[in-house]
Amino acid sequence: MFSGLLGWLTDSHQLMTLLQQNWLLGLALITAIIFCETGLVVFPFLPGDSLLFATGAFLGASGMSPVTAILCVSAAAVLGDSVNYWVASSPIGQQLVKRNWVKPQHLKKTQEWFDRFGGATIIIGRFIPIVRTIGPFLAGLATMNFRQFILYNIMGGLLWCCVVLLAGFWLGAIPWVRDHLEWFSLGIVVISLIPVATHAKDFFRSKAETDKG
Protein backbone atom coordinates (compact mmCIF):
# COMPACT_ATOMS: atom_id res chain seq x y z
CA MET A 1 0.00 0.00 0.00
CA PHE A 2 2.85 2.37 0.88
CA SER A 3 4.53 1.79 -2.48
CA GLY A 4 1.23 2.53 -4.21
CA LEU A 5 0.84 5.80 -2.27
CA LEU A 6 4.40 6.80 -3.09
CA GLY A 7 3.75 5.93 -6.72
CA TRP A 8 0.83 8.31 -7.25
CA LEU A 9 2.59 11.04 -5.27
CA THR A 10 5.48 10.97 -7.74
CA ASP A 11 3.71 9.86 -10.92
CA SER A 12 0.81 11.98 -12.26
CA HIS A 13 -0.40 9.15 -14.46
CA GLN A 14 -0.75 6.79 -11.48
CA LEU A 15 -2.70 9.51 -9.68
CA MET A 16 -5.11 9.80 -12.60
CA THR A 17 -5.58 6.03 -12.54
CA LEU A 18 -6.43 6.18 -8.83
CA LEU A 19 -8.94 8.98 -9.45
CA GLN A 20 -10.56 6.94 -12.20
CA GLN A 21 -10.89 3.90 -9.96
CA ASN A 22 -12.20 5.74 -6.89
CA TRP A 23 -12.82 9.46 -7.36
CA LEU A 24 -13.94 10.23 -3.80
CA LEU A 25 -11.01 8.40 -2.17
CA GLY A 26 -8.57 10.07 -4.55
CA LEU A 27 -9.97 13.54 -3.84
CA ALA A 28 -9.88 12.89 -0.08
CA LEU A 29 -6.22 11.85 -0.26
CA ILE A 30 -5.30 14.87 -2.42
CA THR A 31 -7.09 17.19 0.02
CA ALA A 32 -5.18 15.63 2.92
CA ILE A 33 -1.85 16.01 1.10
CA ILE A 34 -2.53 19.68 0.32
CA PHE A 35 -3.33 20.30 4.00
CA CYS A 36 -0.17 18.53 5.17
CA GLU A 37 2.05 20.36 2.69
CA THR A 38 0.74 23.79 3.65
CA GLY A 39 -0.03 23.14 7.32
CA LEU A 40 2.90 21.10 8.60
CA VAL A 41 6.28 22.78 8.25
CA VAL A 42 8.05 19.39 8.16
CA PHE A 43 6.39 18.39 4.85
CA PRO A 44 7.65 20.92 2.29
CA PHE A 45 8.57 18.15 -0.16
CA LEU A 46 4.99 17.09 -0.94
CA PRO A 47 4.09 17.72 -4.63
CA GLY A 48 1.08 20.03 -4.38
CA ASP A 49 1.47 21.56 -7.85
CA SER A 50 1.61 18.29 -9.74
CA LEU A 51 -1.28 16.84 -7.71
CA LEU A 52 -3.52 19.81 -8.50
CA PHE A 53 -2.56 19.88 -12.18
CA ALA A 54 -3.09 16.13 -12.59
CA THR A 55 -6.44 16.35 -10.79
CA GLY A 56 -7.55 19.08 -13.17
CA ALA A 57 -6.35 17.05 -16.15
CA PHE A 58 -8.37 14.06 -14.95
CA LEU A 59 -11.51 16.16 -14.50
CA GLY A 60 -11.12 17.72 -17.94
CA ALA A 61 -10.61 14.37 -19.63
CA SER A 62 -13.55 12.86 -17.74
CA GLY A 63 -15.92 15.75 -18.43
CA MET A 64 -16.50 16.30 -14.69
CA SER A 65 -17.05 19.70 -13.07
CA PRO A 66 -13.98 21.06 -11.23
CA VAL A 67 -16.04 23.02 -8.68
CA THR A 68 -16.11 20.36 -5.93
CA ALA A 69 -12.39 19.68 -6.24
CA ILE A 70 -11.54 23.40 -6.14
CA LEU A 71 -13.64 23.95 -3.03
CA CYS A 72 -12.08 20.97 -1.22
CA VAL A 73 -8.45 21.68 -2.01
CA SER A 74 -8.85 25.45 -1.47
CA ALA A 75 -10.33 24.84 1.97
CA ALA A 76 -7.45 22.48 2.79
CA ALA A 77 -4.88 25.03 1.58
CA VAL A 78 -6.37 27.90 3.60
CA LEU A 79 -6.77 25.76 6.72
CA GLY A 80 -3.23 24.42 6.32
CA ASP A 81 -1.65 27.88 6.17
CA SER A 82 -3.75 28.97 9.16
CA VAL A 83 -2.53 26.03 11.25
CA ASN A 84 1.06 26.69 10.19
CA TYR A 85 0.77 30.36 11.22
CA TRP A 86 -0.94 29.48 14.50
CA VAL A 87 1.75 26.97 15.51
CA ALA A 88 4.54 29.48 14.83
CA SER A 89 2.79 32.34 16.65
CA SER A 90 1.77 30.16 19.61
CA PRO A 91 3.95 29.61 22.71
CA ILE A 92 5.29 26.50 20.97
CA GLY A 93 6.70 28.52 18.10
CA GLN A 94 7.88 31.41 20.24
CA GLN A 95 10.01 28.98 22.26
CA LEU A 96 12.17 28.68 19.15
CA VAL A 97 12.90 32.38 19.48
CA LYS A 98 13.43 32.35 23.23
CA ARG A 99 15.87 29.44 22.99
CA ASN A 100 17.74 31.18 20.17
CA TRP A 101 16.93 28.44 17.67
CA VAL A 102 16.08 31.41 15.48
CA LYS A 103 18.75 34.09 15.78
CA PRO A 104 17.44 37.57 16.72
CA GLN A 105 19.07 39.21 13.67
CA HIS A 106 17.45 36.67 11.36
CA LEU A 107 14.07 37.17 13.02
CA LYS A 108 14.43 40.94 12.64
CA LYS A 109 15.12 40.58 8.92
CA THR A 110 12.14 38.25 8.62
CA GLN A 111 9.90 40.79 10.36
CA GLU A 112 11.15 43.55 8.06
CA TRP A 113 10.50 41.33 5.05
CA PHE A 114 6.92 40.58 6.08
CA ASP A 115 6.29 44.24 6.91
CA ARG A 116 7.15 45.12 3.31
CA PHE A 117 6.31 42.03 1.28
CA GLY A 118 4.11 39.93 3.57
CA GLY A 119 1.09 39.93 1.25
CA ALA A 120 3.12 39.04 -1.84
CA THR A 121 4.98 36.33 0.05
CA ILE A 122 1.79 34.62 1.21
CA ILE A 123 -0.01 34.93 -2.13
CA ILE A 124 2.78 34.36 -4.67
CA GLY A 125 4.55 31.95 -2.34
CA ARG A 126 1.66 29.56 -2.85
CA PHE A 127 3.02 28.77 -6.28
CA ILE A 128 6.54 27.99 -5.05
CA PRO A 129 7.35 24.63 -3.44
CA ILE A 130 8.92 24.92 0.04
CA VAL A 131 8.03 28.65 0.21
CA ARG A 132 4.31 27.83 0.51
CA THR A 133 5.18 25.60 3.50
CA ILE A 134 7.81 27.78 5.18
CA GLY A 135 6.11 31.14 4.41
CA PRO A 136 3.14 30.94 6.79
CA PHE A 137 5.36 29.55 9.54
CA LEU A 138 7.76 32.49 9.19
CA ALA A 139 4.77 34.86 9.11
CA GLY A 140 3.73 33.45 12.47
CA LEU A 141 7.22 33.78 13.93
CA ALA A 142 7.40 37.35 12.65
CA THR A 143 3.98 38.06 14.24
CA MET A 144 2.50 39.30 10.98
CA ASN A 145 -0.89 40.96 11.55
CA PHE A 146 -3.38 38.10 11.75
CA ARG A 147 -6.20 39.81 9.86
CA GLN A 148 -3.87 40.67 7.01
CA PHE A 149 -2.49 37.14 7.03
CA ILE A 150 -5.96 35.58 6.82
CA LEU A 151 -6.93 37.85 3.94
CA TYR A 152 -3.80 37.03 1.93
CA ASN A 153 -4.08 33.40 2.97
CA ILE A 154 -7.58 33.09 1.49
CA MET A 155 -6.64 35.02 -1.65
CA GLY A 156 -3.51 32.97 -2.19
CA GLY A 157 -5.17 29.64 -1.48
CA LEU A 158 -8.03 30.24 -3.91
CA LEU A 159 -5.74 31.67 -6.59
CA TRP A 160 -3.24 28.81 -6.38
CA CYS A 161 -5.84 26.05 -6.43
CA CYS A 162 -7.90 27.65 -9.19
CA VAL A 163 -4.98 28.50 -11.46
CA VAL A 164 -3.15 25.17 -11.22
CA LEU A 165 -6.21 22.92 -11.18
CA LEU A 166 -7.98 24.79 -13.99
CA ALA A 167 -4.77 24.83 -16.02
CA GLY A 168 -4.83 21.06 -15.84
CA PHE A 169 -8.57 21.01 -16.56
CA TRP A 170 -8.27 23.05 -19.76
CA LEU A 171 -4.88 21.82 -20.98
CA GLY A 172 -5.06 18.22 -19.81
CA ALA A 173 -7.35 17.25 -22.67
CA ILE A 174 -4.45 17.83 -25.08
CA PRO A 175 -2.62 14.48 -25.54
CA TRP A 176 0.87 16.04 -25.59
CA VAL A 177 0.14 17.93 -22.38
CA ARG A 178 -1.15 14.78 -20.67
CA ASP A 179 2.12 13.05 -21.52
CA HIS A 180 4.21 15.90 -20.06
CA LEU A 181 2.26 16.96 -16.94
CA GLU A 182 5.41 17.32 -14.85
CA TRP A 183 6.91 19.87 -17.28
CA PHE A 184 3.82 22.07 -17.06
CA SER A 185 3.93 21.97 -13.26
CA LEU A 186 7.60 22.95 -13.36
CA GLY A 187 6.80 25.81 -15.74
CA ILE A 188 4.26 27.25 -13.29
CA VAL A 189 6.89 27.16 -10.53
CA VAL A 190 9.53 28.91 -12.66
CA ILE A 191 7.15 31.70 -13.72
CA SER A 192 6.11 32.25 -10.11
CA LEU A 193 9.72 32.58 -8.97
CA ILE A 194 10.39 35.63 -11.15
CA PRO A 195 8.52 38.32 -9.12
CA VAL A 196 9.67 36.83 -5.81
CA ALA A 197 13.30 36.86 -6.94
CA THR A 198 12.92 40.49 -8.05
CA HIS A 199 11.45 41.55 -4.69
CA ALA A 200 14.15 39.65 -2.80
CA LYS A 201 16.94 41.24 -4.85
CA ASP A 202 15.59 44.77 -4.26
CA PHE A 203 15.03 44.10 -0.55
CA PHE A 204 18.52 42.81 0.18
CA ARG A 205 20.11 45.50 -1.97
CA SER A 206 18.32 48.27 -0.06
CA LYS A 207 19.12 46.52 3.20
CA ALA A 208 22.83 46.38 2.33
CA GLU A 209 22.84 50.06 1.42
CA THR A 210 21.13 50.93 4.72
CA ASP A 211 23.65 48.90 6.71
CA LYS A 212 26.54 50.62 4.93
CA GLY A 213 25.01 54.03 5.67
Segments in 40-174 forming alpha helices (H): 48-62, 67-89, 91-98, 104-124, 131-141, 146-171
Q: Does residue 23 contact residue 69 with C-beta atoms inside 8 Å?
A: no
**Tens digit of pLDDT for each residue in 38-77?**
999 888 888 888 889 889 988 988 889 999 999 999 999 9
Torsion of CA 62, 68, 74, 80, to 10 degrees: -100
Tens digit of each residue's pLDDT (9 = 90 or more) over 142-184: 888 999 999 999 999 999 999 999 988 988 777 776 666 667 6
